[in-house]
Structure 1
């Protein structure tokens, strides 16, 4: 059985008869979370996905496939939430925001503001509505029903029982002014391997998605950069442009005096940056541009190599560096 009687009782004890808002990230964990709810006889009132316009094509395809699954279940379709900017703003997405401000995503500096601005807030507005501004709109029926009942909405987050997700969830409050929070996978005791197994056995192995993340996410692992070079060289090049724009721009924290050379000189000639606590690129402690040059991923003009031989090399390196539990998903060989 994919869900034991005890697990089903635990999940229903926590969530039955509550107003449920599932935050769908379109990755392994959030996909397994929806399956777990269905196995427990629970149905969310709304399912939201934050569209930053920076997801990989495979993630968007998974969204469409999941909408087909939800339709078969007679569940609500995924509400795709996107932050709208004011008229006249020089950008309309996270990538453009970073480019215009000559900075990296806040995660590169250990912060979370990019996620709050481009993911959390648009999903909250889709539920609560907004009285004014570019995202002005009526509240979702779940918000009105909560007011009618004088009840709290439970936001469901797809954190699993892996060490990283347990650490993240422990840092978060159980509730805020508007929502309660629950982690169904942790209630069930599922880790990433459990999630993959349940998706494969319920929906088919082809429905195990890749990790959902922006193509320029500072949390990307080295194997993911090789995978990006092989499958989406255009996106990797855009990430390299963003990084160069930030580290040579007006807000750069890079100190030429400390490092003895300009950032551009170092990425073009040195094998590594000197030891420092300063963020030197999208990798925080390393620059993607330098990594790409040193590992012969790009040519002298920092264009990703696209020939068949190099693509095979990138795929082989991605497979070699990939470890079980390290963003384990459909990209594994």
Structure 2
């Protein structure tokens, strides 16, 4: 292994000093000499995956980031910051992949799609179509190219090379060894018609704390990102909602509007006969939502608007109470686990060494 210092690192880290021999060997065995595309989500895991690859001296051929148009500002800033790092490594910069829609649709992103159709993201209904349409498909189109339509574009040079040489591209997915990702990848997909898939973090046994520690050590604590997800993601935890209200209140208010628009719109699954009151009445007046199998909001079994009201996050007009933002930030700090950092965490400096 080459013992070469990384330019711009805030630590004394050198390439080859992070992984133990068995981890290094696993990555080299799986990926050396292959055509590699990193699916970069701009969160903790995918950033750690880049760090691990760098340590094993495996340079990807492309790095893609799927932009739904609904990420938090900190996530977009992290993509730019990582491009600066990648430049010092002499690695390819992040290719942003985004769906391009017909002008007649009247919207340009996932948020606009939900508002225009008066619905919630598919995850609120237990489905994954928003990820397929707004993340997976744009990534594939950037690589394979599109012959016609608003997304028309030539195939990526890497795809052309793979076709010419009769080789397959392997996509790297940043699932870690934590319980949630192990459950999500219980039967990881090894391949499909066009691509192979690999899960480097699981190969080297890294869980989320390992990922946080590795990024802090190699890049500095300031580049350990917060969780990457849409600001209106139904999977958001309480601390994330408090964080959003504290740090990006305008985005939190947009999420509340999306929910109200859907739950009082033409496709609402809400039934006043079942609930005994309108969704709007429950949001404004009830202490809790009745038990139901019906999706009643961005929280699936609860509404973000209702949660925001009963937790004192919004006023009567469902606007974030700006004077309480420091309290919201403190609550977020108290609730979150040790898996996100760019949201103000201070402990990272202690573990980076």
Using the size of structure 2 for normalisation, the TM-score is 0.92
Match status 1:108 vs 2:124: yes
RMSD: 1.0
Given candidates 251, 256, 259, the residue that maps to 2:272 is 256
- 2: CA distance between counterparts of 1:82 and 1:172? 25
Q: Are 2:144 and 1:128 equivalent residues in the alignment?
A: yes
Deviation of 1:82 (Å) = 0.7
Deviation sequence 1:219-265 (CA, Å, 0-9, x none): 00001101111001100000000000000011111111000010000
1:99 equivalent among 115, 120, 123: 115
Residues 1:175 and 2:191 aligned together: yes
Q: Which residue of 1 aligns with 2:316?
A: 300
What's the CA shift string for 1:142-185, capped at 9, x where partnerless?
11111112111100000100011111112442111111100000
Residues 224 and 340, structure 2, Cα contact 8 Å, conserved in 1: no
Secondary structure of 1:38 counterpart: helix
Match of 1:85 in 2: 101
Report Cα offsets for 1:92-145 as digits up to 9, x if no partner. 110000000000000001101011111110010011100111111111111111
Match for 1:323 among 305, 317, 337? 337
Match of residue 88, structure 2, among 56, 65, 72? 72
Aligned to 1:243: 259
Match of 1:47 among 57, 63, 66: 63
- Between the aligned partners of 2:77 and 2:122, the Cα distance in structure 1 is 27
Q: 2:244 aligns with which of 204, 228, 235?
A: 228
Give the match's secondary structure for 1:170.
Answer: coil
Instruction: State yes or no: 1:60 paired with 2:76.
Output: yes
Paired residue for 2:162? 146
In structure 1, what is the equivalent of residue 296 of structure 2?
A: 280
Q: Residue 63 of structure 2 aligns to a residue in which SS? A: strand
Write the deviation string for residues 286-314 of structure 1: whole angstroms up to 9, x where unpaired: 1000001111110001111011xx11211
Q: Which moved more, 1:170-179 or 1:23-32?
A: 170-179
Q: Secondary structure at the residue paired with 2:76?
A: helix
Unaligned runs of 5+ in 2: 1-16, 347-353
